[in-house]
Amino acid sequence: MNTRLILHINGNEHSLPDAWHGRRLLDYLRHELSLMSVKEGCGEGDCGACTVLVDGEPMCSCLLLGGVLANRSIVTVEGLSDDHRQRFAQLCEQHGGLQCGFCTSGFTMMSAWLAEGGSETGQNSSDKLLAGNICRCGVYQQLKKVIADLL
């Protein structure tokens, strides 16, 4: 069986070791590649802390196996442009869009997707699109302002 799998992560090619074929993308990114922006909140697809972009679309890395991602492009916060990260950070500071910061990576990824014109139907509201990102500190109103300013 052809098991040499190449993943494109933040613009770099990675040959996925066999041992990681049947394990979560989340663990590979975090534990093997030390991409610490990728957080595990629930591990069940509910909280969005583990959000990464796969071929430009947001997905939960806690519900993806490494072995199903051959030739796909994966982007984490580390792979976003400095420009976007700085603007997002600045706006978070301005609006108080960050408390403990655990949800921040997920929201940063969603903000990058939205800034690139991300949408499901071309007309849904960003509120609805952010429903999969939970903030246990409850800074939703502040994050709403951050996202509104960003777009």
Partner 1 sequence: MGSSASTIRPTQLPDLELFWPTHIDELIEHIKGGAKLLAGGTDLLLQARNQGQPQKLAWIGNIESMHNFAEQDEQWQVGAGISLGKLISNAAFRRAAPAIVDAAQLVGSVQIRNQATLLGNICSASPAGDTLPALLVHEAEVETAKSHSLLLDDFLIAPGQTALAPGDILLSVSLRGLRANEISCYYRHTERKALDLAVASVAIRLSFEDDGCTIAAARIALGAVGPTAMLAKQAAESLVGQPLTKKSIANCATIAAEICNPISDFRASADYRRLLIRVLVGDVINQIEKRVQLLP
Residues that bind partner 1 (CB under 8 A): 1-3, 17, 19-24, 27, 31-32, 43-46, 48, 51, 54, 57-60, 63-65, 67-68, 110, 120-121, 124, 128-129, 131-133
* Alpha helices, DSSP H, located in the chain: 25-27, 82-95, 104-115, 126-129, 140-150
One-letter amino acid of 57: E
Strands of the sheet with 57-60, listed across from one edge: 12-16, 5-9, 73-75, 51-54, 57-60
DSSP 117-151: T--SSS---HHHHTTT---TT--HHHHHHHHHHH-
- According to CB under 6 A, which one of 10, 73, 99, 126 is a site residue for ligand FES? 99
Regarding 137 and contact with ligand FES (CB under 6 A), the answer is yes
Which pair of structure tokens corresponds to residue 62?
């806690």
Distance in Å, CB of 41 to ligand FES, minimum: 4
- According to CB under 6 A, which one of 6, 65, 100, 151 is a site residue for ligand FES? 100
Distance in Å, CB of 126 to partner 1, minimum: 10
Regarding 103 and contact with ligand FES (CB under 6 A), the answer is yes
Q: Which residue has the tokens 């699109």?
A: 129
Other residues' Cβ atoms within 10 Å of the Cβ of residue 46? 13
Regarding 35 and contact with ligand FES (CB under 6 A), the answer is no
Name 12's bridge partners.
9
Residue closer to partner 1, measured from CB, 1 or 83: 1
Of these partners, ligand FES, partner 1, none, which one is at the site of residue 20 (CB under 5 to 8 Å by kind)? Answer: partner 1
Distance in Å, CB of 129 to partner 1, minimum: 5
Contact residues toward ligand FES (CB under 6 A) are 40-43, 45-50, 60, 62, 98-103, 135-137, 139
